[in-house]
A = this chain, B = another copy of it.
Amino acid sequence: MSNSKKTLPPDSINNPTRRSFLTKGALLATGGVISLAMAPTQAAPITINVPETVTGGRTRFHQIYDVIVVGSGFAGLAAALEAKSHGLSVLVIEKMAVFGGNSTINGGAFAVAGSPQQKEAGIQDSPELMYQDMLKAGRGLNHRDILHVLVNGTQEAYEFTLKHGVRYKPFVQHFGGHSVPRTLQTVESSGAGIIMPMRQSAQKLGVIFKSRCKFESFIQDNQQTVVGLEVKENYYFPDENSGLVKNYGARYGVIMCSGGFSNDLRFRMIQDPQLVSDLDTTNHQGATAEGILAMLKIGATPVQLDLIQLGPWSSPDEKGFGNVSQFNTIAGYPMGIMVDARTGKRFTNELADRKAREDAILAQRDEQGKPVYPICFTNKEGAKNAQSLPAALKYQVAWQFDTLKQLADHFALPYENLQKEVDEYNTAVANGSGDRLGKDVSRAISLAEGPYFAVRVWPKVHYTMGGVQINPNAQVLNSLTGNPIQGLYAAGEVTGGPHGASRLGSCAVADGLVLGRIAGAHVATQTANPLFSTSDSDNA
């Protein structure tokens, strides 16, 4: 196969570059180290002889693609689009019935260092500044090589999303832990505003999507190269008895974008026994660990799996991510304050990084150790961009009050304390600096006037910083040698390292898009070196 031949339709037959054979319709026993379940099949399967080293290996693929992407969130779609743009045939599999995983249910907030919106607002920013912010939040535990790649890729990734139809609000927001406002947000205030147009664009370009198709295990040749996947088609999450086993071949690589494990109670409690079942999560049901574990089982390197983030802006009054998280992120924290429900006094910088806020909120307990949910509020002016507020009010997880006195009475807060706290805060806002708790109030607003909108706050398991180790090409690294596992890439939350001890808000979108693109682009450089070959005669 020549380098110039870039378009490789699924199941195409290439000239053999190594000793190989193909048998159509035959059912062949599996030998060597490749162990395959034999599933019923409708279509004629293709049998491939993977490169022989010691004992030889022969496996039967029901379908062959240039690239298989596991997972359809930010990282998966970016990888698929990038690989497709280089002319490869791409399959994206998703175990759930709907595409997008956690990416569709988050706030659609994307940290970009050096966006046009920043320039318009006169905000000086750079990849280096973003790097320093993330390293600080990460408490120095960040993998610096991946972090560099991440911060250097946000601007291009932003343009890439525009090209594929994503639309952003015309202004930039200030999220906790970032030293300047650098967070863009989709007009929908949701990650679905990225996932939907990108998936439509990918489909138009010919990327193949299969939902209810669950990754089961890797198929490796005798050199441990990943040459494909065992999957279950027609899988109904979480019924492990559902689905038909199939084997897919991947000519140039598999890209794992299978996400984190915040909703995998068993595995997350192994890593942090404090994250018990009555602690809610913002994540969708499918955020489980099997993707990471399968990679570890073929020698991938585990990185910082016990570093698990709780989202410091969610509400105990609703399930999951809900409507309050967005309200707090956009309105409550930057444009309002959060107070101790017993004293009416503030207790943390509302724009500190997530770990600092998480720790401060989790310390709000009574003498028996039971949570005392803090109250976060802003006023009408502060809430003007919080699109989820009407829904939060409707479902009675946010409340409106004309005066501070009414707010205090509703939550049984000591009103005098609260009024004093608001007055003190307003003074700092008027001065543009000097906040007692170190909050950057240069863009904050006075809370002198109502009406007020208030919510209760308690953290939920949100993001797993840990995962498998990758190199700057998004190749998964072998734990013993430190070298890439041939044929295997990973991007997004399934990887570990760039965020260290604590991920900053809006950096997950950046991570997924930037590293996903890198994986898709790198696999496209491998077209001269297919992982296996097919021919229409058995010349073994």
The chain A residues found within 8 Å of chain B, CB to CB, are 30-31, 33, 35, 54-55, 140-144, 266-267, 270-274, 289-290, 293-294, 296-299, 301-307, 466, 469, 479-480, 482
Whole-angstrom CA separation of A180 from B54 in the bound complex: 60
* Contact of B271 with A304 in the complex, beta carbons under 8 Å: yes
Give the chain B neighbours of A298 by CB distance below 8 A. 297
A296-B479, A297-B479, A479-B297 are contacts. A144–B273 as well, Cβ < 8 Å?
yes
Give the chain B neighbours of A33 by CB distance below 8 A. 33, 35
Whole-angstrom CA separation of A296 from B270 in the bound complex: 15
Whole-angstrom CA separation of A305 from B304 in the bound complex: 7
Whole-angstrom CA separation of A153 from B234 in the bound complex: 50
Give the chain B neighbours of A31 by CB distance below 8 A. 55
Whole-angstrom CA separation of A469 from B270 in the bound complex: 8
Q: Report, nearest first, the 4 A-B pairs whose CB atoms are least far apart.
A: A302-B302, A304-B306, A293-B479, A140-B274
Give the chain B neighbours of A480 by CB distance below 8 A. 290, 293-294, 297
Give the chain B neighbours of A274 by CB distance below 8 A. 140-141
Apart from A141-B306, A143-B273, A306-B306, 7 more pairs, CB < 8 Å: A35-B54, A141-B272, A141-B274, A270-B303, A289-B479, A296-B296, A297-B479
* Overall SS of chain A's interface: loop
User: Whole-angstrom distance from the CB of A159 to the nearest CB of chain B?
Assistant: 31
Give the chain B neighbours of A266 by CB distance below 8 A. 482
Give the chain B neighbours of A290 by CB distance below 8 A. 480
Give the chain B neighbours of A479 by CB distance below 8 A. 267, 289, 293, 296-297
Contact pick for A302, options B30, B141, B296, CB 8 Å: B296
Give the chain B neighbours of A307 by CB distance below 8 A. 306
Whole-angstrom CA separation of A264 from B301 in the bound complex: 14
Whole-angstrom CA separation of A299 from B33 in the bound complex: 16
* Contact of A142 with B297 in the complex, beta carbons under 8 Å: no
* Contact of A299 with B297 in the complex, beta carbons under 8 Å: yes
Give the chain B neighbours of A296 by CB distance below 8 A. 296-297, 299, 302, 479
User: Whole-angstrom distance from the CB of A408 to the nearest CB of chain B?
Assistant: 34
CB-based nearest B residue for A37 = B54
* Contact of A302 with B305 in the complex, beta carbons under 8 Å: yes
User: Whole-angstrom distance from the CB of A452 to the nearest CB of chain B?
Assistant: 36
User: Whole-angstrom distance from the CB of A217 to the nearest CB of chain B?
Assistant: 10
User: Whole-angstrom distance from the CB of A245 to the nearest CB of chain B?
Assistant: 14
* Contact of A273 with B140 in the complex, beta carbons under 8 Å: yes
Whole-angstrom CA separation of A144 from B75 in the bound complex: 36
Whole-angstrom CA separation of A299 from B298 in the bound complex: 9
CB-based nearest B residue for A298 = B297
User: Whole-angstrom distance from the CB of A271 to the nearest CB of chain B?
Assistant: 6
Give the chain B neighbours of A272 by CB distance below 8 A. 141
Whole-angstrom CA separation of A507 from B479 in the bound complex: 29
Give the chain B neighbours of A469 by CB distance below 8 A. 270
Give the chain B neighbours of A293 by CB distance below 8 A. 299, 479-480
Whole-angstrom CA separation of A270 from B500 in the bound complex: 11
